[in-house]
Structure formats: structure tokens, C-alpha cells
Structure 1
Amino acid sequence: MENKLNIALVQSPLIWEQPALNRENFSSKIANVKSEVDLIVLPEMFTTGFTMTPENIDAQEGDITIKWMQDWAKEKNAAIVGSIVYSENDLHFNRLFFVMPNGEVKQYDKRHTFTLAGEHEKYQSGSNHLIVEYKGFKINLMICYDLRFPVWSRNTTDYDVLVYVANWPKPRVEAWDTLLKARAIENMSYCIGVNRIGRDEKGLEYVGHSAIYDSLGQQLIFSEKEEVISVNIDKDHLLEVRKKLKFLQDRDKFQLLGVKD
């Protein structure tokens, strides 16, 4: 449908450092997604959980998962996005992949590695934004801790949708809720957050709160349980709001040093 995007958010527990079992789990969930979906969003590190021992994951698993994403994207005729542990040249990345229905792959390395957990010691930080043009929408892709840094997501390129995939634990979930809404309002865009649920190997609890907010901060959908939730977003509505409330025209101009765009 023109100027509309049907989005499915897959909220699930993750099996610790077991890529094959996680792919099997998400396969069963994706298989039941409605055929008219355009974009399927999975959590951060959806094949392993938020592991700080990437050396435990076979380096071949990254490419196996990309092929798995391509197969499902083709099967569902929908784009699929999520981040995984990806290793190359003896380096490790928390890398997001956006896979088109035709198999084309775009990637983004997490800019803000989570120092509280030591992620910066295990994974290479990225320096590039990834904004994908898909079905008439410009989509800006981010990962978890990026949510806390508004300058990195500032809408200087007139994108339409901001996506965060995450493993965001229960003790700080109020910040997750608040910042997703804030990113939508300040950037006058749709903002999507997909989190996991359950407990990880370290005993951390995750309660989901996957959600979509519109450009005025209205919550369109929300979940706290294991399920796939979906909603249509409307670009015409977004453009009408921006035409009426021209806040983006008053934004500050700035340049991020050391960033490649």
C-alpha cells in the first residue's frame, strides 16, 4: 500500500549463545507473521543474547544467520532487521543487518558500545550511520545503547522512521520507555523499539516494552510478553504533521567529527 508500512515486532526470550536454537525459535515466529507485512524487526543480538564472550560463537555463524535472514525475507517478501555477533579478521562486532526481500544486505555497527558491561572491550565501535530507503520510507537504524545519545539520532536528513533493536533490562526499562518517546518527538519521526524478554545467563531480567511511537509521541503499540505485534505506519500522516508543525526547520546545524556518512 502506497505510503504505508506494515511492521511486525518480534518480542522473544533468547537462548544464551545458541545461534541455531535461536534461529529455530525465530523461524517459528516469522512463519506465523501475516503475509502482508513489509518489515520484520528482531531484537539486538537475537542469535546469542547480549554476550560479552563473542569468542564462544563460531565465526561462521554470522554468515549463516545472514543467509537465514535472506531466506526468510524472500519467503515473506519483507525486509528483516536485527543485530547479531559478527566476527571477521579476528575482530568482533555488534552488527545490525537490514535484509531486503531481494536479498540485498545493509549493515550498521553499533556506535555506542555499552561500557557498563564492557562491550567496548570486546566489540569494535562503528562510525557510520545507516539510513535505508525502503518502500518510500527513509529508515534510520540504531542499536540499544545508542538510544541514550540524542545527537547520534538527530534528524538532520529528514528520515521518517527511527529503529532501535535492544537487550534493555528491567531495572532501566523506564528510561527505555521515556527515551523512545523523546526520540520520536524531537525528531518528528516514527520511533520503533524492539526489546527481548526473559532472563539471560547473567541473571538479568528483560520485560520487553517493545513499542512504536508516532511523531507526536503517541504510543501506537506496546507489549510486555512473548509475541509478535504489528501496526501500520502512515507517511502521509507524518508529512501532514511536519507541514503543520515545522519544528525540524528550526533545528540546529552541526557536524559530528570522526563520523562517516
Structure 2
Amino acid sequence: MEQIAYVNGSFVPLSEAKVSILDRGFLFADGIYEVAAVLDGKLIDNASHLARLERSVGEIELALPETTARIQEIQQELVKRNNLVNGMVYLEVTRGADTGRDFAFPKGVKPTLIMFTSTKDIVNAPSAKTGINVITVPDLRWTRRDIKSVALLAQVLAKQTAAAAGAGEAWMIEDGKVTEGGSSSCFILTQDDVIVTRQNGSEILPGCTRKAVVALAEERQLRVEERAFSVEEALAAKEAFITSASLFVQAVVSIDGKKVADGKPGPMTNRLREIYVEFAKATAV
């Protein structure tokens, strides 16, 4: 049975899902996207993703063509139509298609809204037990990384470099400090049992899973410090891990070929993953 997608008000077979070649998302990367995880047929932490969507479109003066309540209804309908049990729902909104290719915002153009699903067993992913290796690369991105833009070429290059090296993720480095992963937020656990992750700002995307993990850790009286850290500090740490909607909490066991601690997922990472999965299932919609 062919997968169903959503395009500008219609549910259509994926093979028929099309947008104009004049769409500004295609021509200028003039758009915003979000990815929400699905567990047991329900959306995970979706309110956080929709709030970030509203913030991102607001930062580029892009009006959503539907309310966030309606967007969630569409997401849930896609999950239902595709019989999706575990996976993700991708959504993208662009400024729409104009008749020309002018850089300035066009007038009287309706934004484009598309969505589709993919299957992935995030909870039982083999890498959750083994951990992943990461490599470091220079951070080549623009200065407004807090906006979840569809302009992802720097991340594509970073993750391709990681894939070519047999690594599961790339950590991007700027001014000697880790900003974030190609598609994830970065954490370490210091020798003093402090969970460290970079503070939010224009240098990084405010990760939804990151936000939830920090809150869940603080609720359990775990010490959390939001600041930048170096690769050297990560290699000296007890544990390192990443978070994202597409993998939840994932242990990092080596950086640039050097082991983090004993080169295995640590107890804090494993516990935070368990706590997050419990939270995800309890709050799914």
C-alpha cells in the first residue's frame, strides 16, 4: 500500500505529492521544518515541536497557512492513514511559489505546507545499546542556527563526512567549542556528575528533546549546567551523549577515534534514555 503524504490541503499518494519548481523552499531554502517522533501510533512531545515551529516562522516573518491545532490534526491523520506505529512525521512550510525569482518576499502568495511519514523503531535501535562514534568538523553554518531552517547544506556535508568515516554523527566545532551535532544536541557528564550541554542562543537550535531531557534531569535533582564545552573536556568526561527527536538519548562512545571513558554507554545516559522514553509514552498524543 503506497504511503500517503499531505500537500497544501490534500492527502495524496507519495508518488503524486508535488510542489512547484518556483516554490521558494526549493529556490531559496526559504522555509522551516519540524520532525516529530511517533511511538505506538502517537506523536511525541509534539506541543514543543509546534511551539518551536511557531517561533521559527515568526523569526522569518512567515505566516503558517494553518493553525497549530489543525497541523496536529493533519499529523495525526497521516499517522492513521499510513498505519504508522513507530517512526516520524516530517513537516515543512515554505513561503510558497511566486511567478518570478525575486529575493524579496512576494506579496499575495500562499505558503506551502507539506507533510509525510517514515518508519523507524527508535526505542529498539541497535545503536542505543552499543553507542555511536562521532567525528568533529568545523561549524560552517550561518549565525541564526536557532531558526529551524530547511537550509541544511552544512549539516549534509558534516553528516556525509561522518558517514564516510564510519561514524554515527558529526560534532560541529566553533572557536574551540562544540556547538551541536549535525542533527542533534550534545551533552557530557563530568567527573563531578554534572550534566553539561550548551546554552541556548543563536549558535544552536533549541532542541525539543534536549529541553525535555534537561527538565527531566532537573526534576530528579540531577545537576545540569548549560555552557559550552570543548572536545578535550568531552574526552575527559565520564559519559557523552546526544539527543534528538529521531533517536531520543544516544550514547557517544568515541570522538575522533578516541574512547570516551571505557568506550561503552554509561549508566547516566542509559537512565536518561529510560526516563525520556517513559515521559514520551506518558505524554504522547
Please, what TM-score do these two structures have when normalized by structure 1?
0.27
Q: Quick check: which has more Rg, 1 or 2? A: 2
TM-score (norm 2): 0.26
